[in-house]
Structure 1
Amino acid sequence: MKRFIWPIYLIFLKKVDSTNQYIKRNISKWMNNWTVIWSMHQTNGRGVGKNLWKTEKGKNLTFSIFFKSITLSIDKGYIMNMIISNAIHKTLFSYSKFIWIKWPNDIILMNKKIGGILIENKVFHKKIHTTIAGIGLNVNQLKFDYKFQATSLKKILNKDFELDKLFYNIIYSIQKEYFLFTIQGESNIRDYYVSHLYMKDKISFFYIKKNVHCEINGLYKGIIRNITKRGNLVIEFNKKKKFFFFSQKEVQLIF
């Protein structure tokens, strides 16, 4: 097992509805900073919004990390998402160079989703007091519902992965990224995240929803250019040569 920068408090569950929900149910009892809930069988995992995260028992990684007493303002809540996205990307990049971060919270391998991150922040006096980071990563599973365009490390790379080794490597990578953030600030974190964005600087199609900053809506061709200091996606639209920024609920990358 790796030596960590901070000690972790690992709780392994054979079966749970959701590792994030497990932390929420027990947060007032005994949760320490860097408590990690790991389960081989998550029966009701979910992603952002109403999206579900369905995985095959014993084949993938599903775990959550509890961060206590972090000092971020509300408008910097996206930083934890960047830290964890970068950490997972750096861990997996050693296996394949075709790994990308799809804004805001997905991990892409060979144009298909292999992982997702769900960040849930608790705010107190306009500061983020605690964060629960749920992570799902498809590792050794081979069969997927065609509707979700999902894949796994094994299916693409044609090799078996040791789940415990990969798990500890990711946890260590997250701690390393978090440590760098505490001593260097967000600049390097942001630069890495932006430079490894899926479809950055490439023509893509987006479904634009209602946006107070943008007079357009519907299906449009555009190019991902950057992320704002509030974590919003910056898209350039070719015909008008204009830049607009979007929150997660306002835009969807189609292809």
Structure 2
Amino acid sequence: MEPNFYRTMVKASTEADCAEILGGFRDLVKRGPGVGVKLLNYYKGLPISYPATLVEVSGEILELDVHPQQAVALGISGRTCIKCGTFAHTLLAEVKDADVRRMMASLHNFSYVDLMVEQRASLRLELEPPADAEITIAGRKVAAKALDVSLGGFSALSSERSLLEKGDEVLLKVMIPNLLHNTVTPLELPATVVELAEADGGELCRFSIGSDPQIEGVLSRFIFQRQVDLIRELKEMSG
């Protein structure tokens, strides 16, 4: 889980919250075998969420049986969110170990979180590699790389300080890959700056875009094929 996907919630203290969560899992394990929870990871923006079965709590480590694709995502991310009706909030845990072949995982360092990613209106997938982009405002052009895409907007890393401000209206040009034909489709569309942060000598810019049937068609086809490719990657890595 990327840090911008969630916001940590501290009820008492970090240590007390972790102890409370472990106590809750111990009580669940005592009920007998087969108690389930749901794990949630994001692989390059694609949500990976499968049921997992509690096995035991050993010291401060929770052992679970997991789906092989979840095990792959756990190993890559190093963190996971846990959804369990026993707890009033979503949980975050660090991954101590994830074994794809044995379909097992060990989790520790638990905390409560507010899962901000669930507030997104549409799926946001990483562009790999980042796509060439250009930001134009008041006749000034700034080169950039588009990092991710959704039906509602883009994130882009500018090559230099953009001098943009939140709320600015820009013309955004992005070279969207056509994954089926191994070509690119140039998109030019009006966009609004919704967030800015300094990064790597430039700025990380988040843009929202308006509704346009032609543009939505191009993006929908890309997002669908990107999901297919990511699922295939996970299946290959999980054996």
- TM-score (structure 2 length as normaliser): 0.29
- Structure exhibiting the larger radius of gyration computed from Cα positions: 2
